[in-house]
Structure 1
Amino acid sequence: MTTRRTFTKLLAAIPVAGLLSTGALAQDMRDITFVQPSPSAINSFPVFVAIGEGFFADEGLNVTVEAINGSGAVIQALSAGQAQFGRPGPGPILAARSRGVEVVHIYNVAARSNFGIAVQEGSDIQDIEGLRGKVIGTGTADGAEVGFARNVMSGAGLTAGTDYEFLTVGDGGPATAAFLNNEIDAYSASTADTAILNQRGMAVRDITPAEFGRFFGNGIATMADTIANDRELVEAWSRAFAKGHAFALDDANREAVLKHLADGNPQEGEDKEFQSALFDAVRSKTISTSPENGLGWYPAEVWAEWQDALVTGGEIAAPLDDLSAAWTNEFAAIGNAAASE
């Protein structure tokens, strides 16, 4: 594996090149780039497992991973041709399509909501209504966590800018500092963000109503032009990714999986106990809500709910002309077939 470090926008990139398998010659390999909205290897664990196990190499793909700041930046990189695949959230996908950016979700990674609104353990705030007049921190200004929080708040009849405020504070240490300095009353966090806050000594608890668990989170995306003009690439990616996902779900492979994740992000691998616990938390969110359809499957009805929430929250002016064009299950089916062989 080769590793180099570059910088993009606000966050350092963490490129990881795929290993060559015995079945793939170097001259046959195609270089592609995958962009993720944070540096965490655990949040994108199927990618790093597929790299480490040689599943991408078996498909003739040499994958470089780069971390940039939030779903908006991921979509921008895809639309600019700087990457072939990325892992943005559904809210940013729909917002981008409302602006004419033809980005498409092809695999539902976070099949169960991997976001929640958290408050400090000792806070008097017990529910969403308790956030009226309060400030909610977010990691990025336009990431998936923002759309999720708007959705939850609008469900309680609360409107951003009127009943509460968002404040972009970053994640990890900056989020901890924002709590300590009383800049924020709550934080819209991913499963990984919450675990990191707790590990840093900032004990938090999730006050998100249980019914929002159906709102899936970040998934694999590519551009419609890539699907139309380079379908073999999308199919190859989907086969390798699904194999990595299935491999990581098998506890018999746990030791190998955690090693691949540490290779992808050495900092996450320094504390083995924390790495293991975080992986369990993130992995649990990727289990399909409809097992009969396999991994990576999108429920059409929840896409409609996501769209309704974005319209209500003012993030998009009106429903899309064709919501179904924003996502597809065909490549998840291809991936599942390959993973089951």
Structure 2
Amino acid sequence: MLNRRIFTTLMAGVVTLVPLGLAGAATAQELTRVTFVQPSPSAINSFNVFVAIGEGYFEEEGLEVRVESINGSGPVLQALSSGQAQFGRPGPGPVLAARGRDVDVVFIYNFAARSNFGIVVPEDSAIQSPAELKGEVVGTGTADGAEVGFARNVLSGSGLKEGTDYRFLTVGDGGPAVAAFEQDAIAAYSSSTADAAILNQRGQAVRDITPPEYARFFGNGFITTGELIRSNPELVEKFVRAIHKGHEFALDDANREKVLEHMASGNPQESEDPAFASALFDAVRSKTIPVDDSKGLGYQPPEVWEEWQQVLIDGGDLTGPLPDLTAAYTNDFALKVNGSAN
């Protein structure tokens, strides 16, 4: 049974960083071990990580990466702030909300460069636009995931206010989301690209009613802590270089079969239906291609960060602008590894 929110247990305590060995080919004993946490067990949603593992890009950088899956962006941020992981892939909204609580996390690579969320309704629903959700219940996979902030933004843009014109209901994903539609518990669902594909696979045909202008609101990307950037920027650069190589490799259709193999190795259950996995990969991959590619892969448009901050202020997740919004993200590593800084 395919479900993108399967729990795995994070390793106890703080991960030990093993120093690199001297010059020469790195052996297993010489690799620096780091942990990457993703907000769901989907290998397809983190395809560049699994390609970087399978193609040996992390090893080339002297890194051994352990992947852990947890439930949503909130726990990803908790894992980093508690020292249980060095890298994660949450949404921008939860990152800004965490910064508002003085959690020192920093966005370092924009992976879902186009919004990887949308508000979907049943295929046969009479609802054609977000404005028509007035008085309705909108389902979400988690209570504090990136999909919540995205949906709040879209609905606010349609003149609707949470708690007055609509309300959210956390229903989970996969089977529970299908059941919520069947029981008329929700009229719409804020879904990721993967969520929508899974709903369709399970017989709940849905269509996206999100206005196209929201595509610029990039989704989940890679983060680390400000402390790690200050204390070991070389390590951060190595990680970003490897995921960038994995990203580039996966965008080349000549490598398609290898990419699908790497993702199947990362999550065999997700790829039990090869045709579905291939279609889902196409959908997810398309969201990682920048709207404006002049700055290369991984670049974060500062103006969209400004818009994301306003979304959180309007939604009450931030009481006001952050003291320094630019401290929440850096393009330094992405621009360096993708060649745009040269």
TM-score between both structures, scaled by the size of structure 2? 0.92
The question of 1:304 aligning with 2:306 is answered yes
CA distance in 2, matches of 1:13, 1:287: 32
User: How many pairs were matched up?
Assistant: 325
**How far did residue 30 of structure 1 move?**
1.3
Match of 1:12 in 2: 8
CA distance in 1, matches of 2:26, 2:105: 30
Match of 1:6 in 2: none
**Structure 1 residue runs of 4+, over 4 Å off?**
none
Match of 1:80 in 2: 82
**How far did residue 232 of structure 1 move?**
1.2
Amino acid at match of 1:62: E
User: Structure 1: which 5+ residue stretches go unaligned?
Assistant: 1-8, 16-21
Q: Summarize deviations over 1:18-68 as a string: whole Å, max 9, x none.
A: xxxx93211111111000001100000000000000000111111111110
The question of 1:271 aligning with 2:263 is answered no
Residues 206, 43 of structure 1: alpha-carbon distance in 2 compared, 3 angstrom cutoff: same
CA distance in 1, matches of 2:26, 2:282: 32
Q: Which residues in structure 2 correspond to 1:151-300 (within 5 Å)?
A: 151-300=153-302
Q: Summarize deviations over 1:207-239 as a string: whole Å, max 9, x none.
A: 011111110000000010010001111011011
**How far did residue 335 of structure 1 move?**
2.4
CA distance in 1, matches of 2:232, 2:8: 29
CA distance in 2, matches of 1:334, 1:46: 18
Computed over aligned residues only, the root mean square deviation of the Cα atoms, in angstroms, reads 1.7
SS of 1:122's equivalent?
coil
Amino acid at match of 1:231: P
Match of 1:148 in 2: 150
**How far did residue 334 of structure 1 move?**
2.4
User: Structure 2: which 5+ residue stretches go unaligned?
Assistant: 12-23
Partner residue of 1:120 out of 119, 122, 126 = 122
Match of 1:5 in 2: none
**How far did residue 160 of structure 1 move?**
1.0
Match of 1:337 in 2: 339
CA distance in 1, matches of 2:221, 2:189: 22
**How far did residue 14 of structure 1 move?**
9.5
Residues 25, 105 of structure 1: alpha-carbon distance in 2 compared, 3 angstrom cutoff: same
CA distance in 2, matches of 1:34, 1:24: 20
CA distance in 2, matches of 1:275, 1:10: 17
**How far did residue 337 of structure 1 move?**
3.4
Match of 1:135 in 2: 137
SS of 1:268's equivalent?
helix
> Could you tell me the percent identity over the aligned residues?
66
Partner residue of 2:107 out of 100, 105, 108 = 105
Contact 2:6 2:69 (C-alpha < 8 Å) held by counterparts? no
Partner residue of 1:32 out of 31, 34, 41 = 34
Amino acid at match of 2:193: T
Contact 1:311 1:319 (C-alpha < 8 Å) held by counterparts? yes
Match of 1:3 in 2: none
SS of 1:157's equivalent?
coil
CA distance in 2, matches of 1:28, 1:57: 10
**How far did residue 333 of structure 1 move?**
1.4
SS of 1:205's equivalent?
strand
CA distance in 2, matches of 1:315, 1:277: 35
CA distance in 2, matches of 1:195, 1:129: 24
Match of 2:16 in 1: none
Amino acid at match of 1:78: L
Amino acid at match of 2:7: L
**How far did residue 161 of structure 1 move?**
1.1
Amino acid at match of 1:305: E
CA distance in 2, matches of 1:309, 1:192: 24
SS of 2:83's equivalent?
coil
Contact 2:51 2:263 (C-alpha < 8 Å) held by counterparts? yes
CA distance in 1, matches of 2:89, 2:288: 13
Contact 1:241 1:335 (C-alpha < 8 Å) held by counterparts? no
**How far did residue 13 of structure 1 move?**
5.2
CA distance in 1, matches of 2:36, 2:74: 14
Contact 1:14 1:39 (C-alpha < 8 Å) held by counterparts? no
Contact 2:6 2:40 (C-alpha < 8 Å) held by counterparts? no
